[in-house]
Amino acid sequence: MSEPRIKCISRSFSAHPVLRRELLELFPSAILNDAGRNYDGAALSDFLKDCDGAIVSLEPVDDALLAQLPELRIISKYGVGIDNLDTGAMSRRNVALGWSGGLNRRGVAEMTLGFMLGLCRNLFFAGRQLRDADDWTKRGGFQLTGHTVGIIGVGFVGKDLIELLKPFGCRILVNDIIEQADYYRAHGLIEAGKDQIYAEADIVTVHTPLDASTRGMLNLDVFKRMKRSAYVINAARGPIVVQNDLKQALKDGLIAGAAIDVFEVEPCDDDEFMLLPNLFCTPHTGGSADESILAMGRSAIEHLAAFFKDRN
């Protein structure tokens, strides 16, 4: 068969010299997002029209888009979350999914550990006070060692975080919809309901996918049930946390602080929220370590290569 028509909509993939080279070595006529545009709506369908295979990252792929791409045969995911893909519609329209989970687990787990250390030892907020207000007050926080960590979602990232936490001797409460009693027992973890985690944890960190069951899971009612000394971390998906509720909880002192890498809407345009003195935030970089980017990009290429090789 003739060479398949491949298009890559992802800006970061398209700008990465190694991933560009490796994709074009296999598919020399592939079209990349060289304009660096953020495509949506009609522009997204126009870019992807007539392609047999597409590499996407966070772009929304729904039934309406697929209806305009009748020749599309596979979507290859550059990334690990698939909440932006209507997999049911893809199945109905016989569009394959190229995806592998957990490719950025170490990068996200390391970021989460960094958040924990920065929050506990007051590194983020003391540094901001020193820089912005010349405040030399020594508020050293507390050690992570020996404190209680609540992990909601014990999948790829959650398990990797548990490995990184071992030297700190934390009491670790875990919650997941999948039964994993043997794993919990082998690693000295305490299986707990979410209510117990909210009530007892010094740090609550969430590592679940975004779906109907997790959207808005951390809300004002939950924050009211946490310790006033507790910290919240979200390096998963923004809508898992009700952002305005977190904003209120931080302003009212319901919790001590938070560190987040993801937002309900990205880029976030709520400057008041991002500048709160007890919030530390980053621009969705948890999965953007050099190693993670290469792993996710190469996975997207490999799924395309395997799909079209099987059909030659």
Q: Phi first, then psi: what are they for 195, rounded to 5°?
A: -60, -40
Residues 38 and 81 in one domain: yes
Residues 35 and 177 in one domain: no
Better-predicted residue by pLDDT, 226 or 132? 226
Range of the domain at 196: 105-281
Of 269, 204, 260, nearest to 237 by C-alpha is 260
- Asked if the structure places residue 109 within a domain, the reply is yes
- Asked if the structure places residue 28 within a domain, the reply is yes
- Asked if the structure places residue 264 within a domain, the reply is yes
Q: How many domains does the chain have?
A: 2
Residues 88 and 156 in one domain: no
In the prediction, which pLDDT does 14 show? 97
Interior CA angle at 231 toward 226 and 232, to 5°? 90
In the prediction, which pLDDT does 133 show? 87
Residues 149 and 261 in one domain: yes
- Of these residues, 284, 298, 302, 311, which one is catalytic? 284
CATH of the domain at 259: 3.40.50.720
**In the annotation, is 284 catalytic?**
yes
- Of these residues, 163, 266, 291, 311, which one is catalytic? 266
Residues 30 and 166 in one domain: no
**In the annotation, is 237 catalytic?**
yes
pLDDT band per the 50, 70, 90 thresholds, residue 1: low
In the prediction, which pLDDT does 40 show? 86
- Of these residues, 5, 11, 237, 303, which one is catalytic? 237
- Asked if the structure places residue 98 within a domain, the reply is yes
- Asked if the structure places residue 1 within a domain, the reply is no
